[in-house]
Structures are given as C-alpha cells and as structure tokens.
Amino acid sequence: MSSDLTCPSCGYSFDKNYNISSEISRLLKARNKKTIKYLNKIASKVTSNLPFETRINYFRFLFGIQSIEDHVVEWGIEQYYQKRYYTSGKGFAYLRKIIQNRNQNIGVLKKNERSMLGSPPPVIEFNE
C-alpha cells in the first residue's frame, strides 16, 4: 500500500521536496505583470495580518492556482481584498478556493449574465 500524499484540490504533493524560493519564482514568472502585482500585494497583506501564513503556504496557494487564467486570479484577489478577509483569519487556502470556484463556474456565470442582460440590439443599416 503506497502512501499518496497529494492534495485532491490542487495536486500539491506532500512527498516531494520543493525548492520553495525557485518554485515561487517559476510560478510568478508564468503570470503577467498586473497579476504578479496583485499576487505580491495580497501576499504581503495576508502574511502581515495572519502570522500562521508562511512562504510554504504561499507556494501551495500559487501551486493550486497555476492553471487558472490571470483575469480569474485578479478577480478573486480583488474580491478577497475588498471584503478584507485577511483581517478575519481567512488566508491563502480561502483565497485559493474563491479563485478555483470562480474558475469552475465562470462559463455558467457568463451564460446567466447574458440571459439577464439580453442580447445587443441588431445593427440597422440605412441606405441613402
């Protein structure tokens, strides 16, 4: 019987020895500049307000959202920041779940938004 110590949510392997600093750099380099700015800002807020949040937790957070598009990550960070969840003890795992849930539901949310707003009016061309 092998012990599989992999997170079912993000795929992080607890068996593997990661070089945290180089992995964080690698995961950040895959993002655009605006997203990196968002990630750095929120990491600073979380780690300064929640002493239990460490670099390894930040790495696990980045690892868990590595396959999610930048606009979804930015949206999740914005929601987390506006609601100031970092002041109520909700750390990287909570933020990761906000982002993952948004990513999972984005197709349905867009469809619902379109049906709520309707479609744009047709273009009418005048012939003079």
Interval 62-77: pLDDT, tens: 999 999 999 999 999 9
Residue with tokens 């779940």: 97
- Specify the pTM: 0.77
Whether 4 shows a pLDDT value over 80: the answer reads: no
| Calpha distance 84→104 (Å, rounded) | 23
Tell me the pLDDT band of 3, cut-offs 50, 70 and 90. low
Q: What is the pLDDT of residue 62?
A: 95
Could you count the other beta carbons within 10 Å of the beta carbon of residue 35? 18
Query: What is the phi/psi pair of residue 13, to 5°?
Result: -100, 120
Residue among 58, 51, 125, 52 at smallest CA distance from 95: 58
| Calpha distance 71→65 (Å, rounded) | 12
Could you count the other beta carbons within 10 Å of the beta carbon of residue 80? 22
pLDDT in tens, 22-63: 999 999 999 999 999 999 999 999 999 999 999 999 999 999
Looking at residue 64, its amino acid is: G
